[in-house]
Amino acid sequence: MNLRELLRSWREWSDDQTIYVVEPWTSEAEAFLSSESPDTNGPIFVSGKPYAYFLEGFIARDFSR
């Protein structure tokens, strides 16, 4: 899922989810939501790709409405 698609699905998010995105951050960059709190400032690797912390879901939701 890319960042644009993820942001369009804001109604499905819970308040404790965090958005992670593959850099560079563009609307077409791969993105996912995580329910786990970030415990590091470094990237999270999923299937060998580094996903960087992007934004808390509840904050992004305010901009997506």
pLDDT at residue 65 greater than cutoff 70: no
- pLDDT tens readout for residues 16-45: 899 999 999 999 999 999 987 667 678 889
Q: What global pTM score does this model have? A: 0.86
DSSP 1: -
Cα distance between residue 15 and residue 19, in whole Å: 11
pLDDT number for residue 42: 82
What pLDDT, on a 0 to 100 scale, did the predictor assign at position 64?
Answer: 66
Report the candidate in 9, 52, 56, 63 with the shortest Cα–Cα distance to residue 29: 52
Q: Are 31 and 54 within 8 A, CB to CB?
A: yes
For residue 3, what pLDDT is reported?
95
